[in-house]
Amino acid sequence: MNWWMLAPTGLLLGWITVQDFRERQVSLAGLVMLFILGLFYSCLALQWMELIRRVAFNSLFAGIILVSGTLLVKLRRPGDSVSSFIGSGDFLFLLSISPLFAFGAFLVFLNTSMMVVLVVFGVLLASGRTNSSGTIPLAGALALGRRLLR
């Protein structure tokens, strides 16, 4: 990718990171713009069928993660809601970056970034340096990871 392709994506990922870390929410407009940029950039490099395959497989995998996580939480703590462990912005972020990755690269990115986020926020929690809500700004951390990987 050229700089003129990376610059808007980097700025948008930075904006999403700042929003999630400060406000613990991500604007839908930012996620839609990220998805549209991903589609635009992928259209330049891929054929339509490959782009559709990328979005479908990555979205399906993100959906499987959400459903299995929901079932796990419901089995362990029947009174907890889905929003107690993953926000809708986190799931929508995963959908919005789906055009940017091939399926294998999406799996590696997701697993690696989740492990790093959990370790970093585990250390912050143990040291008492987290905010009072105790939530992890997952979309912001993943956006930061994606920005560093480009």
Can you tell me the mean pLDDT for 88-110? 82
Residues 6+ apart with CB under 8 A from 58: 94, 95, 97, 98, 101, 103, 106
Mean pLDDT, the chain, whole residue set: 76
Which long-range contacts link 56-62 to residues 24+ away (Cβ below 8 Å)? 57/103, 57/106, 58/94, 58/95, 58/97, 58/98, 58/101, 58/103, 58/106, 59/94, 59/95, 59/98, 61/103, 61/106, 61/107, 61/110, 62/91, 62/94, 62/95, 62/98
- Read off the pLDDT of residues 45-97 as tens digits, 9 standing for 90 and up: 777 788 888 888 888 888 887 777 777 767 776 666 555 556 677 778 888 88
Portion of the chain with pLDDT greater than 70, in percent: 76
Can you tell me the mean pLDDT for 95-117? 83
pLDDT computed for residue 3 by the predictor: 63
pLDDT computed for residue 81 by the predictor: 57
9-18, 65-74, 141-150 — which one is most confidently predicted on average?
A: 9-18
- Read off the pLDDT of residues 21-41 as tens digits, 9 standing for 90 and up: 777 777 888 888 888 888 888
